[in-house]
Amino acid sequence: MPFVRLLIVACILLIAAWMPPARSETTRQAMPETMDMLRHAIATQTVEGKNQVPVFAQYLAGKLESAGFSKSDIEIIPVEHTAALVVHYRGSDSKLKPILISGHMDVVAANPKDWQRDPFKLIEENGYLYGRGVADMKTNIITLVETFMRLKREGFVPKREMILVFSGDEETDMASTRELAKRYHDAEFLLNADAGGGTLDAEGKPVLFEIQAAEKSYADFLLTVTSPGGHSSEPNPSHNAIYKLAKALDAVAAHQFPVQHNEITLASLKALGTHESGALAEAMRTFAAHPDDARAAAVISADPAYVGQIRTTCVATMLDGGHALNALPQRADANINCRIFPGVSVASVKATLAKVIDNPAVSITVRPPPPVESPASPLRPDVMKAVSATIHERFPGVDVVPGMSSGATDSMHFRNAGVPCFGVSPNFAKANDTFAHGLNEKLPAKEVPAALDYWHSLLTRVTR
Partner 1 sequence: MSTHRTLLLGSLILALGCSPLLAAETTAQAMPEYMDMLNHTISVETVKGKEQVPTLARYFADKLEAAGFARSDIETIPVGRTVALVVRYRGSGKGKPFIVHGHMDVVPANASGWKDHEPFKLVKDGPYYYGRGVADMKDQTVALVETFMRLKREGFVPRRDIILTLTGDEETDEFTAEEVAKRYHDAEFALDADGWSGEYDANLKPVMFGVVAAEKGYADFLITATSPGGHSSEPNPDNAIYKLSAAMQKIAAHKFPVQYNGITLASFKAMSARMQGPLAEALRRFAEHPGDAKAAAVISANPAYVGQIRTTCVATEFSSGHARNALPEKATANVNCRIFPGCTVAAVQQQLQRAVADPAIEVSVQDPAPVLGPISYPVLPQVMAAVTQAVRQRFPGIEVIPVMIPASSDSRHFRNHGVPTYGVSPAFAKPGDVHAHGYNERILASELPASLDFWHELLPALAK
The alpha-carbon radius of gyration of the chain (Å, integer) is: 26
Distance CA 47, CA 110 (A): 8
Q: Least distance (Å) from partner 1 to the CB of residue 243?
A: 4
Does the CA dihedral 271-276-282-284 come out positive or negative?
A: negative
The residue type at 51: N
Q: Is the Cβ of residue 158 or residue 321 nearer to partner 1 in the bound state?
A: 321
Spatial CB neighbours of 315, under 8 Å, sequence gap ≥ 6: 336, 337, 338
Q: Is the Cβ of residue 237 or residue 381 nearer to partner 1 in the bound state?
A: 237
Q: Is the Cβ of residue 232 or residue 363 nearer to partner 1 in the bound state?
A: 232
Q: Is the Cβ of residue 76 or residue 246 nearer to partner 1 in the bound state?
A: 246
The three-state secondary structure class of 164 is strand
Q: How many CB atoms lie within 10 A of CB 23?
A: 10
Beta-bridge mates of residue 189 = 99
Q: Least distance (Å) from partner 1 to the CB of residue 320?
A: 5
Q: Is the Cβ of residue 143 or residue 227 nearer to partner 1 in the bound state?
A: 227
Q: Least distance (Å) from partner 1 to the CB of residue 326?
A: 6
- The Cα-based distances of 317 to 111, 252, 275, 334, 429 in angstroms read 23, 12, 32, 7, 28
CB 339 within 8 A of CB 216: yes
Q: Least distance (Å) from partner 1 to the CB of residue 238?
A: 9
Distance CA 177, CA 346 (A): 21
- The Cα-based distances of 311 to 122, 142, 378 in angstroms read 40, 36, 19
Q: Is the Cβ of residue 20 or residue 228 nearer to partner 1 in the bound state?
A: 228
Q: Least distance (Å) from partner 1 to the CB of residue 253?
A: 4
Q: Is the Cβ of residue 24 or residue 335 nearer to partner 1 in the bound state?
A: 335
Q: Is the Cβ of residue 152 or residue 331 nearer to partner 1 in the bound state?
A: 331
Q: Least distance (Å) from partner 1 to the CB of residue 305?
A: 5
Q: Is the Cβ of residue 132 or residue 456 nearer to partner 1 in the bound state?
A: 132
Closest Cα partner for 424 from 191, 147, 98? 191
CB 169 within 8 A of CB 175: yes
Cβ burial 169-195 (10 Å sphere, 16+ → b, else e): bbbbbbbbbbbbbeebeebbbbbbbbb
**Number of helices followed by number of strands (H, E) in the chain:** 13, 19
Q: Least distance (Å) from partner 1 to the CB of residue 105?
A: 21
Q: Least distance (Å) from partner 1 to the CB of residue 46?
A: 20
Q: Is the Cβ of residue 313 or residue 352 nearer to partner 1 in the bound state?
A: 313
Q: Are strands 74-79 and 331-340 parallel, antiparallel or unpaired?
A: unpaired
Residues that bind partner 1 (CB under 8 A): 216, 218, 220, 230-237, 240, 242-243, 245-247, 249-250, 253, 304-305, 307-308, 313-329, 332, 334-335, 337, 339, 367, 406-407
Q: Least distance (Å) from partner 1 to the CB of residue 372?
A: 15
Q: Least distance (Å) from partner 1 to the CB of residue 431?
A: 12
Closest Cα partner for 192 from 159, 164, 173? 164
